[in-house]
Amino acid sequence: LLDLDPGPSNWKAAVQIHAEEAYILPAQTAELLGALGREDSKTTASAGVVIGVMGAVGGVGASTLAAVLARKRSAHNTTVLIDGVPSSGGIDLLVGAEETLGARWPDMGFKRGSVQATDVLEALPHTKDKMAVLSTARSKVLDPFQLNPAELSAAISCFSASENTVDVIVDLPAHWANSEVMEHLSYLVLVVPAEVRAVAAAGAVA
């Protein structure tokens, strides 16, 4: 449960929704990121965590939060940050990997056959802190590829089936809230600013 400074946290609401923790933002941002980035005791040794990050409305920082979570987890586990927004300009820009060589979405073929997570990870661009990034491309060449929920689900399944622990952080569009992608997530983070329109939109998404 998140509340704005100066608080205090609404503990009654926290109990009603069975929240594990309550945080005051932005004062406890570090603690929040630490909690979201922790190893979950319910996760098996061989399976990584899959976290989807979705903004209730546009421009609320969902992509930024996804990138921060991925960087946090990459300090301990092999981590891939996935750009799951079809209209995105490329999440590789956000993490400074736009000029790094490596495969982007149009180069991948998760639905065209069996691919190994190890091979995919080697092909992807990596940040300086060794975080893998699966991003959309900005090529001006006409390309028939269109990112869709089925393609994204296949990618998540590929990484989740890895012999080694691979954490997956996915930047998601709100209009995919009812898609098959949700079935692959360990957690879904819905970013909702303190605005009437955003809260109304979040209610529809929920």
| Residues 58 and 93: beta-carbon distance below 8 Å | no
Contact between residue 83 and residue 134 where contact means Cβ atoms under 8 Å apart? yes
pLDDT at residue number 140? 62
Query: According to the model, what pLDDT value does residue 143 have?
Result: 65
Supply the pLDDT for residue 42.
44
Q: What is the pTM of this model?
A: 0.74
**Which residue positions in the chain have pLDDT lower than 70?**
37-47, 112-114, 140-143
Residue 6, preceding bond cis, omega within 30 degrees?
yes
Can you point out the beta strands (E) in the chain?
2-4, 23-25, 50-55, 78-83, 132-134, 166-172, 187-191
What pLDDT is attached to residue 31? 78
pLDDT at residue 141 in the model? 64
Return the bridge partners of 168, or none: 50, 80
What pLDDT score was predicted for residue 44?
43
